[in-house]
Every structure is written in structure tokens, then in C-alpha cells.
Amino acid sequence: MHFSFVRILENKVKMTKLLHFCVLLMIVFCASCGQNQTDTVKDNQKFETKDSVISYRSDAMVRNVKQDRNGNILLAASLAGVFRYAGNSFTNLTSKLGQLRYWDVLEDRRGNIWVATTDSGVYYYPSAAAATASAGSKSFQHFTTRDGLASNAVMSIYEDKAGIIWFGTGGGVSRYDPRLAVNSFQNFTTKEGLPSNNITTIMEDKTGKLWIGSRGEACFYDGKTFTVFRNKDDKAFNNVWGFTEDKKGNIWFGATIIEGKKGDRLVVTAGLWRYDPSLGTGGRAFTKINDKSTSAIIEDKKGNIWTTGAVHPNGVGAWKLLRYDQKSLYNEKPVVTEIMSIDKMLCGILEAEDGSIWFGSLSGVYRYDGKKITDFKHKEPQK
């Protein structure tokens, strides 16, 4: 997908046709199937609105929601900035960088901030300790393809157990090892065995394997080889935008399967999948949970699985925040609760330290505390 489409989407968010077209290209879709649903928060239920002194536009797309080492919430809000929420207001961490397409953010274990953009590469803000150690200043450093990054379109930032930073980009995977005396990027592309260069997400499991989602075929990396994983019909999983590992070591993800072609059109199915590593890496290890569309996905502290996704394959209609009950995850039909249904795209999810669920959308960020949904808005942008 060319990022000119994203530019149109963000500048003309009210143009429904363009929205649906861009949504179709960006995430996993499928028609929903019937599930046992309880405790639904209805569209017409009154949301609590939090008025804060903030500087991000409430109509900015919040693509990813993360948490820093102090438990503060970090938001990557496209064209608006990266923000930190410390409990009562939002602070723009990137006001000096200007208007960029901010997509992801990470505070690593050393306290350094990494910011991903889809039009300007990666920005790095060192912690006080890092700045002192290098005799440098506390200011943003900019990494692009000129510095070895695989692409300036960066969709994902991930830190593995060893402290290595991985970037999923539109040109492959970039690996950055801060432990090396001379820091540089090591890139992996289709030349090195990646099945697709359009990377959307990266996650390390308990065994050390990296699970890599893309707009094409998904794969895992064992440190030597990229392996495309397939279902029992030997068909690859495509358009994976999120992975999560549950407490038993199973991997959950949403994906589409290309079933064939009808003329010039691909025929695809989609759904939520679970991988059981005790069954090996063959197709029988992958179980399709249902036909619901799944984009972002997490496991909370209680073991529940949370997802966002669109109802219909073409992106028209409702998007839903769903919770899969941990007590029934391994039943033939897990109990799923619809928390929110809304006619605009829902994006990344995070469980905060207090147990609340934060999730981004096409126009702002929401928080669900188990009883009510808070829609963070503001009266006037901060100047």
C-alpha cells in the first residue's frame, strides 16, 4: 500500500469511501460469526469524556498504545505526535519534530525512547544516563535509509529479551543491537529469506523465536531461518497485524487465508487463530477459533484475550473491541464479550498497570476500566 493513500485518509477522514478503501488495504477483515456475547457496551451508552489540557488533536489516528517503565501511557498519533499520559494530561514528546506520520513508540529497558514514522524513518531520544555516557545531548537522533535502515516506512518497534531493537518496515526487518560498540542496522529482506518485505508486527515468544507479521505471508525466525507457517491445508497466513503469547505458550493472531482466485480477484477467508507449540510446526498445530476479523491482539493479566477488528471484509460498518474469556479459551467456542462497537477503525490495544484497557482508533484514544469507556477529548488544542 502506498502511503499516499494514508495521507488522503488522514486529511479527509470524513470521506467514507476513501476510508473504507484504505481500511481494506490496512488490516485483516472477515465476516463475523455468531458467538456467545454478554455485558455489551452499546453504541448509545453514554461515554465519560475526559477534558484535559492536551496538545494532540482528538481526531488524530492513534495507531499504537504502549506503556513506559513508570507505567505512563504512550500514544503514537499520526500527524499529531507521540504523547505521554501521566494520569491527568497529555504531553507531546515530539512537538519539535513537526507533523509526521507517527505509527509506533517504545521505551526500551534503558529508558531510551524510539519513535516510528511511516514517512521519515525512526527517531531516538536517549535517556539521561545514555546521554551522559556518550557525552551527548538529550535531543532526538534521526535514523533513515541513509543510516542503514531498511525503509523509512516503519510500522513496528520491538525490543527482545536480549535488549536488541527490531523494526518492521516497508522494506524488510531491521535489527539494531545497542550493545555493540559501533551501532548499525542489520537488515533482513526477501533476499535473506523473508517471504514479504512489508512488515507489520514483530513478537518474540518464550523460546526465543521471532514471529513476524506482514501484508504478505507471515513467518517465524529462529535466528537462522525464516519459516512460513501454514494451516492444515498447507496455506500460508497473510495480513497478520498482531501476535500475542498466552500463559501456556500458545500464539494467538488474526490472519487471512488466500483460498483461490475468481477472475482477477483473490478469494480470502479470515479469522482468529491459535498455535500450540506442543504439536510441532505443522498445520495441525494451528486451530481456527472463529471467523471474526482480528487486527490488534493482547493477553491481559487474568489471561483473557482482547482483539480489535472490523465486522465486514470491506471495512464497512462496525468495528469491535472483543474480550475472550480465559476460562473458555480452549473450548470449541470460547465465550466472547463485545465491549465496544463503533463505526470507525479501532487500532492498537494495551493493558495498563491498573488493569484498564487502552485502545486507539481512527479519531483518538479510549480507556475501558471494566465498567465504563472514557473517550479522551479536548475543547481546544494546546498552542
DSSP 131-197: HHHTT--SS-EEE-GGGT-S-S-EEEEEE-TTS-EEEEETTEEEEE-TTSSS--EEEE-GGGT-S-S
pLDDT of 311 reads 75
Q: What is the DSSP string of 303-363?
A: S-EEEEEESSTT--S-EEEEEE-GGGTTSSS--EEEEEEESS-EEEEEE-TTS-EEEEETT
Greater confidence (260 vs 286) lies with 286
How many angstroms separate the CA atoms of 34 and 247, rounded? 26
Q: Is-contact 364 50, C-beta < 8 A?
A: no
pLDDT of 137 reads 55
- Residue 197 identity (one-letter amino acid): N
pLDDT of 242 reads 96
Predicted model pTM: 0.83
Q: How confident is the model at residue 135 (pLDDT cuts 50, 70, 90)?
A: very low
Q: Is-contact 109 122, C-beta < 8 A?
A: no
Q: How confident is the model at residue 13 (pLDDT cuts 50, 70, 90)?
A: very low
How many angstroms separate the CA atoms of 108 and 162, rounded? 11
What SS3 state is found at 76?
strand
Mean pLDDT confidence for 128-132: 55
- Per residue in 308-340, pLDDT (tens digit) is 998 765 556 789 999 999 999 999 899 999 999
**CATH superfamily of the domain spanning 3-377:** YVTN repeat-like/Quinoprotein amine dehydrogenase (2.130.10.10)
CA-based diameter of the chain, in Å? 61
Greater confidence (29 vs 100) lies with 100
- Per residue in 34-65, pLDDT (tens digit) is 333 333 443 333 344 343 344 445 578 999 99
Cβ contacts of 331 within 8 Å, gap of 6 or more: none
Tell me which residue of 317, 358, 301 sits closest to 16, measured CA to CA: 317
Least confident of 85-89, 262-266, 374-378: 374-378
Greater confidence (252 vs 138) lies with 252
The domain locations on the chain are 3-377
pLDDT higher than 50, residue 204: yes
Mean pLDDT confidence for 350-359: 97
- Residue 76 identity (one-letter amino acid): A
pLDDT of 89 reads 83
What SS3 state is found at 6?
helix
Greater confidence (129 vs 110) lies with 110
